[in-house]
Amino acid sequence: RNIEQDLRAALQAKDQIQVYYQPIYSATDRKITGVEALLRWHHPKSGWISPDVFIPIAEEAGLIEKLGEQVLREACTAAINWPVGTVAVNVSAIELRNPSYAAGVAHLLLSLGMNPQKLELEMTESALTDNSGQCEQNVKALRQLGVRIALDDFGTGFSSLSRLQRLEVDRIKIDRSFIKGFGAESGDEAIVQAIVELARATGLKTTAEGVETKEQGKRLQQMGCDNLQGFLLSQPLPVSELNSLLGEGT
């Protein structure tokens, strides 16, 4: 009845909550360069519940660290044998505020024998904006390990350019709201072009999110965006479907 109680039960039951994987492609040759792990909850009565709904509930209920640990472990375990560059996992601000977060990631990677450079952690600008400085310390420690850091939903927050330079990240994920505006008189193409050029100038990689049309893909490639993610190329897939896609040779 209560969604929080149902979430607790789902975390125990395990099979209700699954990790899907969305392939991420090189903008130029359209080969798969990595995947992003995305949670999916199939509620026994209500059907599919979006992570936009249940992640905030998990955060408030104190369940996000357990959930995040499960996703990270499952995604890394699966990715060890995949012929892809990186597996990206979303990290909540609450996880990042835990002083032992980076140490936990290090321990997991070591126990799995996984190359830290194969893991990319996605976090939003707001997650990195905590006053304690704890998030930035975790990021620093993670990067020293070799883990890659991506700034998710870029452009929707309030980061100044000087702050972007100070933040130690490897990649910017351009929010899909900007890609959506391509072709209209919105200025979105100019904004994305500016983001790509800024990223280039500061040595960051770029991924465009929510690429849904061929035209968007072509424009992004022309702009010099490094990677593309979106329904044009692939939906998020259950692990079995991703395995067959990767098996086909990409």
Residues that bind ligand G (CB under 6 A): 22, 38-39, 50-52, 55, 68, 71, 90-92, 152-153, 176, 209-212, 229-231, 236
Nearer residue to ligand G within complex by CB, 1 or 56: 56
Work out how close the CB of 229 gets to ligand G at its nearest, in angstroms, rounded to a whole number.
6
Out of 74, 122, 188, 189, the residue judged to bind Mn ion by CB under 5 A:
122
Q: Taking CB under 5 A as the rule, which mask of x and - marks residues 79-98 in contact with Mn ion? A: -----------x--------
Token reading at 50: 């979006």
Q: How many residues bind Mn ion (CB under 5 A)?
A: 3
188 binds, among ligand G, Mn ion, Na ion, none (CB under 5 to 8 A by kind): none
Out of 95, 120, 125, 152, point to the residue binding Na ion (CB under 5 A).
Answer: 152
CA distance 208 to 159: 18
Q: What are the residues binding Na ion (CB under 5 A)? A: 152-153, 209
